[in-house]
Amino acid sequence: MRRRPKAPPSPLAQRDGIDPVRLRLPEDTEGAWRTVADHLRARYGSERADALFREGRIVSVDGPVAADEPYAAGRYLWFHREFAPEDRVPFEIGIVHRDERLLIVDKPHFLATTPRGSHITETAQARLRRDLALPEVQPAHRLDRLTAGLVLCVVRAEDRGAYQALFSARRVRKEYEAVAPYDPEVELPRTVRSRIVKERGVPAAYEEAGEPNSESRIELLEHRAGLGRYRLLPTTGRTHQLRVHMNSVGLPLLDDPLYPDVLEGPPGRPEDWSRPLQLLAKVLAFTDPVTGEPHRFESRLRLAQWPR
């Protein structure tokens, strides 16, 4: 099989920590596109495509591209998307460790890890690229937007595969801390295994009968005044796994807007920054795939509902 040639570097710099869109013009098997604009109109709609050309935002390695330029399959084009304004998450990212390959950060509650959906410029990845002038930095894994704590980021693009493989192969020990109700009737420690399903467009995940695809260990560290502080040790990484498992044993996390019930705020109202989900990614431990050095990092954050 013949390999596709490597794409050339983008002629456009990042904007607000976000890469431009890269587009490779496909083969025109039906002869439908006489010009570059014909294809972009079919792909994005006439109004959007014409605006991109009118504003001179479509570029190739040779510079701005005119709407009437002949269509050429395999040609690379770039442009910057326009993003809707986003409310700034009023918490900063903490730097736990930094070297030439790794950046370990404490992501605050409410901040998405990577650009996705309606969260683009207000993400940990975009902020770190902007604030630290590290255009290639990228998280090696995802941490739920409402969860705070440790995220391992890779500084150089050539190292991403090695560190991402640690997570896909489950060679990273992850420990979480949570605050939830204390119930002496719930027998702990225990390991919860279940089948978790998360449907696109549906906020909450749910459990169903079938072969388990998730596993979490739940340990009680201490309790007082009707609340417990828990250590959670996930073996797998399903979406909302720890929140689902804690809810399933009758210990829903404090200030969780999805479990046990989906709480929808008034339309257009900002999030309540004062009530973060009481879940913290506390520890990451692994053997460095590049140097062979053992690493153990611990979050410097604390859960508000369990003050020291």
Mean pLDDT, residues 20-49:
94
257: Cα within 13 Å, side-chain hemisphere: 14
Distance CA 149, CA 234 (A): 15
Distance (Å, whole) CA 285 – CA 152: 10
Instruction: Please report which confidence band the pLDDT of residue 1 belongs to, taking 50, 70 and 90 as the band edges.
Output: low
Burial class (CB in 10 A: 0-12, 13-18, 19+), 231: middle
Q: Which amino acid is at 203?
A: P
pLDDT, tens only, 251-294: 999 999 999 999 876 545 568 899 999 999 999 999 999 999 99
Q: How many CA atoms lie within 13 A of 238 on its CB side?
A: 22
pLDDT for 113 beyond 90:
yes
**What is the Cα 87 distance to its own chain's centre?**
17
DSSP class of residue 11? S
SS3 category, 39: helix
| Burial class for 140, CB neighbours closer than 10 Å (0-12, 13-18, 19+) | buried
Q: Give percent of the chain above pLDDT 90.
A: 90
Across the chain, mean pLDDT equals 94
C-alpha 138/C-alpha 128 separation (Å) is 9
Contact between 21 and 78 under an 8 Å Cβ cutoff? The reply is: yes
Length of the chain: 308
pLDDT at 250: 97
Beta bridge partners of residue 180, listed in sequence order: 228
